[in-house]
């Protein structure tokens, strides 16, 4: 009887230890991005010489490691009817969240260099957890091309710097993740 009780007690300790290890390593207790974390973007739309140039529609968003969209950072579209032309973004985000579309949409932009920042929060203004994310940039131009860039990123409490290779519709993109 004593041996059985010892086994039962140790089995209970093991089960409790397994439960606590699982509980404390779950996402409920994962570290959030530092409060002062900031992502600075330098984004370029190249000048394209053509007789039928139209300003591109652009979507810039972040997905988590499960490929779930967590933040739409920029959305440049002239009219709502053109949102569907940003196919990847539209399929993942746009067709499901009309309030978000209204909140983040701004006018299309001409060729040039643009700077903007992201504070490490999701679309609900909640701080994201540290981890693996992917940045997507999609640009589509009427009478023109369609390009998409993506960059995997590790966001923790350490700074990171990324340089994306330009395409025909998307120029130089520089990303700097700061935690100071």
For residue 12, give both structure tokens.
């209970």
User: In which residue ranges of the chain is pLDDT below 70?
Assistant: 1-29, 79-81, 87, 95-98, 100, 102
Give pLDDT tens digits for 104-153: 777 888 899 999 999 999 999 999 999 999 999 999 888 778 889 999 99
| Exposure of 71 in the CB half-sphere (CA atoms within 13 A) | 20
Give domain limits for the chain.
1-30, 31-178
Q: Tell whether pTM > 0.85.
A: no
CATH topology of domain 31-178: Immunoglobulin-like (2.60.40)
Question: What pLDDT does residue 84 have?
Answer: 72
Q: Residue-wise over 119-141: b if at least 16 C-beta within 10 A, else e?
A: ebeebeeeebbbeebebbbbbbb
Between CA 60 and CA 138 the distance in angstroms is 6
User: Would you give the distance in Å from CA 121 to the centre of its chain?
Assistant: 10
Please give the Cα distance from 119 to 122 (Å, whole number): 9
pLDDT at 28 (0 to 100): 46
pLDDT of the residue at 15 = 47
Pair type for strands 160-164 and 105-106: unpaired
The confidence score (pLDDT) of residue 49 equals 86
pLDDT attached to residue 91: 79
Are the C-beta atoms of residues 178 and 155 closer than 8 Å to each other? no
């Amino acid at each position: 009887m004593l041996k059985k009780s010892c086994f039962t007690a140790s089995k209970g300790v093991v089960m409790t230890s397994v439960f606590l290890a699982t509980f404390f390593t779950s996402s409920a207790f994962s570290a959030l991005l530092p409060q002062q974390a900031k992502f600075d973007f330098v984004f370029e739309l190249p000048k394209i010489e053509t007789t039928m140039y139209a300003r591109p529609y652009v979507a810039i968003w972040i997905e988590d490691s499960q490929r779930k969209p967590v933040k739409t950072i920029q959305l440049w579209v002239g009219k709502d009817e053109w949102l569907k032309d940003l196919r990847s973004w539209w399929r993942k985000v746009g067709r499901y969240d009309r309030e978000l579309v209204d909140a983040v949409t701004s006018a299309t932009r001409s060729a040039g260099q643009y700077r903007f920042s992201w504070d490490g929060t999701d679309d609900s203004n909640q701080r994201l957890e540290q981890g693996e994310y992917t940045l997507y940039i999609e640009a589509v131009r009427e009478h023109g091309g369609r390009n998409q860039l993506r960059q995997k990123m590790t966001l923790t409490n350490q700074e990171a710097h990324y340089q994306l290779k330009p395409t025909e519709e998307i120029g130089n993109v520089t990303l700097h993740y700061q935690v100071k």
